[in-house]
Chain A
Amino acid sequence: MFRNRKAVPFSFTILSTLYIIYIVALGDSRMLGDEIGGDPGGMIIPLILGIFMLASSFYIFLTDKKTQTAEKKMDPVDRRLFLSVLIISILYAALSRFLGFLLSTSLALYILVFINLNLGLGKDCIKPFFFGMLISEAVLLAVYTVGRTITRSMTIASRNGSLSGFFASSGAILAVTAIAAAALVFIAVFIARKALPKASSSDKVNSAFSAGMISLISTQALYLIFKQLFLVNLVSGLIGW
């Protein structure tokens, strides 16, 4: 009977039922100082919403049927890519506190770009994938360490009074750090480009190079914008220095 019904309206019906149960279980709460009465209470609106959601989702569940044209099955490669994005997103949200902003972001970006460029992760991809990941993470850590040292040294120097005027400002510290980071990234990319044809010119190696470069540049740029410009407390995780 329900074979040609859609799963989403069914899920919404269940969700609405649970919502009503939860609202009723929560009980009513009155406005502070409502001794005279008149306050309809905190339950009425959520309850009305819950009942409306249940009625409408159930109606949609009954009337909105699957059609053959709309029911196109996802291509296996597409499904694999979709699941990769979903799993990496969940892992990123769950592990970023432990790994820290730099490692989790660069790893997630590297993996996603590499998988997208190769439309999956076949057996022949494994070696360039891990090799590229290791190199890009190593370069990222090196750039971060140099940048951090520059920022710290300049901040201490400006506090001591060794740096004065424009160079003591946070903007100048950010600019110097950004220039140093950009120079290091440029050198790393230049060396990698020179070394690449010697090692291999296969698509897999090229996509590992692209993924590494994108993850490196993007992670550094995001770090500089949010951490150094807007002073957001990005989690350090495993990189404690």
Chain B
Amino acid sequence: MDFFMQGLSQVANIQTILWMAIGSVLGIILGALPGLTATMGIALVMPISFHLPTATGMGLLLAVYCGAVSGASIPAILLGIPGNPNAIATVEDGLKMTKKGKAGQALGGAVVASFIGGIGSLLCLVFFSPLIAKATLAFGPAEKTTLALVGLVIIASVSGKSVLKGLFMGALGMALSLIGTDSFSGALRIPFASILGHTPLTKGLDLTSSLIGLYGISQVLLSAEHLTKPAAEIPDVKIDHIFPSFRKVCSMWKIILASLGIGTIIGAIPGTGASIAVFMAHDTARTITNASNGKLEEVGTGCLEGVFAPEVANNAVTGGALIPALSLGIPGDSATAVLIGALMVKGVNPGFQLFSQNMSLVYAIFITMFIANLFMTVFQLAGVRLYPKILKVPEKILMPLVLMLSFIGAYAIAGQATSVGIFNMGVALAMGILGYFCKKNGYPFSPLVLGLILGSMFEENFRRAVKLAGGNYMTFFTKPICIVFIAFAVFSVVFPIIRSRKKASK
């Protein structure tokens, strides 16, 4: 209870509430604008959170995260274009409802569903993450090494079409994270050390700048390629009857529970993300409505059931993805990878250490997550007639702003050090260009980001484990937990390969 009160005191102040309100509105806007993702929003706001107290900064980031996931439903319902992949399954029924003149009900229903999903998964987060973190007490350096490996391999093998490309990106991320100074010997590990040894590169690549470049600048470069294409026309839709009736919501209890479970579980599996969860939830809802003997409207016909299922699921992913992120330091999706990065920039390492030494911050994160969901609901419902107008902001104006915000964000991390700031801008630009070419050629980002985050932790624990075993590399195959993790890693690489070979042979 003491920790809870301490956590509450970190959050219960005007500064936190104000920044979270701003973050929530910003998140909804970012989510609503096609082309801007939740991850990108978090990466762009990270420099601001860096200058705030840890709990306030995390609150701001979580507000952007929840807002962006929920806001993506606005263009999905009104235009049939999801703001980001989280709302991809909302399109089918959402757009049909708009065409039937029920846009208000669809938009309102999506917000209510997002709130239910967010709060439901938050309860799972509060319950499960301390338990999982406690279980990691049994982890020594060897277990931590294999845990980092399994997290990276799972993300690498599921986040793209090609397992090998994912694994390559993971390795590249780790290689980039090892640039700088060897933490054990103090030796420089940078190319052209006589020249670059006097630059901020000696401290390694700045994580925040790298993330800003990967998610912000690369997206601007990609968007520049299709600015000539005409933008989608925004229809003038009458938005009324926003709130779905309580009876209607209650009648969908099976859909809500199923979607909540799917979203939370899929979110908690590293690398999977909301785009998988929403389709699974939508399909499950279809099965439930088909079996309801006419009590529920059939999914796919333009009904609230078809909007509720994916919207509960995508916001349930937010809490689910935070379970492994906070308890193990392994993010559930790319957005939580950036959130972990933000915590690490603040000197807070996720995992058991966080739960044992900084429990008040854990509670503060839980409370801010609740407030983020609350604000997301209030602000999205309050502005339900206003947000569609935001869709009229053309990409031609938006993208230059994103570019400048990316550069200034990377610079601002350095605070007073001008040279470091300029260097960070260079890092962001380089990573942006790398990200652009990777995206164009189907190389997934998430393994690269995770490699950047976990690389140095992996190496430190690997060396510690081998050293403790007296130089014996077989130590990883003598511990049961390590063997389980290695088996998981092997399975997650081999399974997709076998599956794709089978598909190809058919």
- Using a CB–CB cutoff of 8 Å, the interface residues on chain A facing chain B are 6, 8-9, 11-12, 19, 22, 26, 29-32, 34, 37-42, 45-46, 49-50, 52-53, 56-57, 59-60, 64, 74-75, 77-78, 81-82, 84-86, 89-90, 92-93, 96-97, 101, 105, 108-109, 112-113, 116-117, 119, 210, 214, 218, 222, 225-226, 230-235
Q: For residue B173, which residue of chain A has the nearest CB?
A: A49
Contact with A along B213-228 (1 / 0, CB 8 A): 0000100110011111
Contact residues in B for A26 (Cβ distance below 8 Å): 189
Contact residues in B for A82 (Cβ distance below 8 Å): 221, 224-225
User: Which of B85-93, B243-251, B312-320, B455-463 is the contact stretch?
Assistant: B455-463
Q: For residue A45, which residue of chain B has the nearest CB?
A: B459
Contact residues in B for A9 (Cβ distance below 8 Å): 441
- Distance of A139 from chain B, by nearest CB (Å): 18
Contact residues in B for A12 (Cβ distance below 8 Å): 168, 172
Contact (A218, B220) CB under 8 Å given A97-B422, A232-B412: no
Total CB contacts across the A-B interface at under 8 A = 184
Interface check B51, CB cutoff 8 A: yes
Contact (A49, B171) CB under 8 Å given A22-B191, A42-B184: yes
Interface check B175, CB cutoff 8 A: yes
Contact residues in B for A233 (Cβ distance below 8 Å): 415-418, 421
- Distance of A108 from chain B, by nearest CB (Å): 6
A234–B225 CA distance with the chains assembled, in angstroms: 31
> Which of B174, B400, B469 has its CB near the most chain A CB atoms (within 10 A)?
B400
**B175 lies within 8 A of A40 (CB):** no
> Which of B399, B407, B416 has its CB near the most chain A CB atoms (within 10 A)?
B407
Contact residues in A for B162 (Cβ distance below 8 Å): 60, 64
- Distance of B18 from chain A, by nearest CB (Å): 12
What are 28 A-B residue pairs whose CB atoms fall within 8 Å in the complex?
Answer: A11-B437, A12-B168, A12-B172, A37-B471, A40-B473, A49-B171, A50-B175, A53-B168, A53-B175, A60-B162, A60-B164, A74-B225, A78-B227, A81-B224, A85-B399, A96-B422, A97-B422, A101-B408, A105-B408, A108-B403, A113-B397, A116-B227, A117-B397, A119-B228, A214-B401, A218-B401, A230-B48, A232-B421
Contact residues in B for A38 (Cβ distance below 8 Å): 466-471
Interface check B432, CB cutoff 8 A: yes
Contact of A34 among B172, B400, B467 (CB under 8 A): B467
A38–B475 CA distance with the chains assembled, in angstroms: 12
**A226 lies within 8 A of B412 (CB):** yes
**B227 lies within 8 A of A119 (CB):** yes
Q: Tell me what chain A mostly uses at the interface: helix, strand, loop, or mixed.
A: helix
Interface check B366, CB cutoff 8 A: no
Give the interface size bracket for B toward A.
Answer: 35 or more
- Distance of B16 from chain A, by nearest CB (Å): 15
Apart from A29-B185, A60-B162, 5 more pairs, CB < 8 Å: A53-B168, A78-B227, A89-B429, A218-B404, A231-B416
A77–B418 CA distance with the chains assembled, in angstroms: 36
Q: For residue A39, which residue of chain B has the nearest CB?
A: B467
Q: For residue B396, which residue of chain A has the nearest CB?
A: A116
**A108 lies within 8 A of B404 (CB):** yes
- Distance of A203 from chain B, by nearest CB (Å): 13
Contact of A78 among B224, B437, B463 (CB under 8 A): B224
Q: For residue A18, which residue of chain B has the nearest CB?
A: B191
A226–B409 CA distance with the chains assembled, in angstroms: 9
- Distance of A66 from chain B, by nearest CB (Å): 11
A85–B403 CA distance with the chains assembled, in angstroms: 9
**A210 lies within 8 A of B168 (CB):** no
- Distance of A30 from chain B, by nearest CB (Å): 6
Contact residues in A for B51 (Cβ distance below 8 Å): 230, 232
Q: For residue B50, which residue of chain A has the nearest CB?
A: A230
**A45 lies within 8 A of B462 (CB):** yes
**A31 lies within 8 A of B184 (CB):** yes
Contact of B467 among A31, A97, A109 (CB under 8 A): A31
- Distance of B123 from chain A, by nearest CB (Å): 35
Interface check B187, CB cutoff 8 A: yes
Interface check B347, CB cutoff 8 A: no
- Distance of B64 from chain A, by nearest CB (Å): 15
Interface check B489, CB cutoff 8 A: no
**A85 lies within 8 A of B220 (CB):** yes
**B221 lies within 8 A of A86 (CB):** yes
Q: For residue B437, which residue of chain A has the nearest CB?
A: A8
Q: For residue B184, which residue of chain A has the nearest CB?
A: A31
Q: For residue A222, which residue of chain B has the nearest CB?
A: B408
- Distance of B35 from chain A, by nearest CB (Å): 14
Contact of B396 among A45, A78, A117 (CB under 8 A): A117
Contact residues in B for A108 (Cβ distance below 8 Å): 400, 403-404
**B175 lies within 8 A of A49 (CB):** yes
A92–B426 CA distance with the chains assembled, in angstroms: 10
Interface check B167, CB cutoff 8 A: yes
**A93 lies within 8 A of B426 (CB):** yes
**B400 lies within 8 A of A112 (CB):** yes
Contact residues in A for B397 (Cβ distance below 8 Å): 113, 116-117, 210, 214
**A-B pairs with lowest CB-CB distance, top 3:** A112-B400, A116-B396, A29-B187
**B165 lies within 8 A of A60 (CB):** yes
Q: For residue A74, which residue of chain B has the nearest CB?
A: B225
Contact of A40 among B400, B421, B462 (CB under 8 A): B462
Contact residues in B for A96 (Cβ distance below 8 Å): 407, 411, 422, 425
- Distance of B151 from chain A, by nearest CB (Å): 16
Contact (A222, B187) CB under 8 Å given A81-B224, A90-B429, A230-B48: no
A49–B167 CA distance with the chains assembled, in angstroms: 10
- Distance of B452 from chain A, by nearest CB (Å): 13
Q: For residue A25, which residue of chain B has the nearest CB?
A: B191
Contact residues in A for B471 (Cβ distance below 8 Å): 37-40
Q: For residue A79, which residue of chain B has the nearest CB?
A: B225
Contact residues in B for A31 (Cβ distance below 8 Å): 184-185, 463, 467
